[in-house]
Amino acid sequence: MKLNQVIAVLQTIKANSTKAKTAVYHQIQKSPMFQGISRTYQPVAEDGFVYPPENQTLQLKAEDLLGQFEQACSELFNLCATQDWANAEAKADIVVDGNTILREVPVSYLLFLEKQLVDIKTFISSLPVLDTTETWVYDQQQECFATEPKLTTKTKRIVKPVVLYEATKEHPAQVKESSEDVPEGTWRTVKFSGAISIARQNELLRRVDKLMQEVIFAREQANSLEVTKNNSVSRSVFGYLFAPSNIR
């Protein structure tokens, strides 16, 4: 069989083992079934009344439950041993676009890396990106993105008198105050941003997706390792634990 076949059935075997062990535990709780009795009556006088015997059959033996418990565990113990022994040998290279990223990576690390890449993809997707309403260029001196300089005029308001009517011999001049905005100077504005471009973000996400695909492929390749089912672990463990004893 192959390692991926072992992995496929392992959860079912675990569930069956748990169910079988639970059944044994339930039997342990039935204390009366571990008890038996045989009572016979013998009168003192030869012609005395003889009471009928009393019997209660012994239904469970603790030693028998040891065997049931071992049976409930055996297949799981052997299958887990088969998987873990195989995992120690199952390895594969991670190759992306013909380039080997990592060599002889164990299955356990491939599983770890696969989960980490999910987190890395979430991280990259959360990075701030440049405002698309602006035109950005990379500023080598500031080591970040910057916009082209934008010039805006700064104005100030001034108030000046406006003569409505010139003075005459009979009347003084009529003057009214008027305000107007006049150029005072020029603002030169450059915006800076520590964000990344959408193109850069998409590039990073493509790399993560590609590496994740190759990690999954490597894991499947490693899990296709031919394995020999280990049937000796259970016998060794329980052979020691539940070995017959002279102690009763």
For residues 121 and 207, membership in a common domain is answered with: yes
Judge contact between 28 and 50, C-beta under 8 A.
no
Q: Provide the 10 A C-beta neighbour count for residue 218.
A: 22
For residues 244 and 204, membership in a common domain is answered with: no
Residue 13 lies in a domain: yes
In angstroms, rounded to a whole number, what is the distance separating the alpha carbons of residues 3 and 78?
A: 13
pLDDT reported for residue 179:
85
In angstroms, rounded to a whole number, what is the distance separating the alpha carbons of residues 124 and 140?
A: 23
Q: Which of 139, 165, 189 is the last residue of a domain?
A: 189
Write out the residue range of the structural domain in which residue 181 sits.
151-189
Judge contact between 83 and 4, C-beta under 8 A.
no
Residue 94 lies in a domain: no
For residues 71 and 47, membership in a common domain is answered with: yes
In angstroms, rounded to a whole number, what is the distance separating the alpha carbons of residues 42 and 46?
A: 9
Judge contact between 54 and 75, C-beta under 8 A.
no
For residues 128 and 157, membership in a common domain is answered with: no
Judge contact between 162 and 173, C-beta under 8 A.
no
pLDDT reported for residue 246:
79
β partners of residue 158:
180
Spell out the residues 6+ positions from residue 182 whose beta carbon is closer than 8 angstroms to its own: 155, 156, 157, 158
Q: What is the 3-state secondary structure (H, E, C) of the chain?
A: CEHHHHHHHHHHHHHHHHHHHHHHHHHHCCHHHHCCEEECCCCCCCCCCCCCCEEECCCCCHHHHHHHHHHHHHHHHHHHHHHHHHHCCCEEEEEECCEEEEEEEEHHHHHHHHHHHHHHHHHHHHCCECCCCCCEEEECCCCEEEECCEEEEEEEEEEEEEEEECCCCCCCCEEEEEEEEEEEEEEEECCEECCECHHHHHHHHHHHHHHHHHHHHHHHHHHCCECCCCCHHHHHHHHHHCCCCCCC
Q: Which residue has the tokens 């916009």?
A: 147
Provide the number of structural domains found in the chain.
3
pTM here? 0.68
pLDDT reported for residue 88:
87
Judge contact between 96 and 214, C-beta under 8 A.
yes
Judge contact between 173 and 167, C-beta under 8 A.
yes
For residues 143 and 210, membership in a common domain is answered with: yes
For residues 68 and 140, membership in a common domain is answered with: no
pLDDT reported for residue 34:
86
For residues 1 and 83, membership in a common domain is answered with: yes
- Chain-centroid distance of CA 1 in Å reads 29
In angstroms, rounded to a whole number, what is the distance separating the alpha carbons of residues 13 and 73?
A: 9
For residues 1 and 47, membership in a common domain is answered with: yes
Residue 99 lies in a domain: no
Mean pLDDT, 10 residues at a time, the chain of 248 residues: 89 95 93 90 90 90 91 94 90 95 93 96 96 93 93 90 78 82 92 95 96 95 88 90 82
pLDDT reported for residue 171:
78
For residues 1 and 84, membership in a common domain is answered with: yes
Residue 198 lies in a domain: yes
pLDDT reported for residue 25:
93
For residues 10 and 55, membership in a common domain is answered with: yes
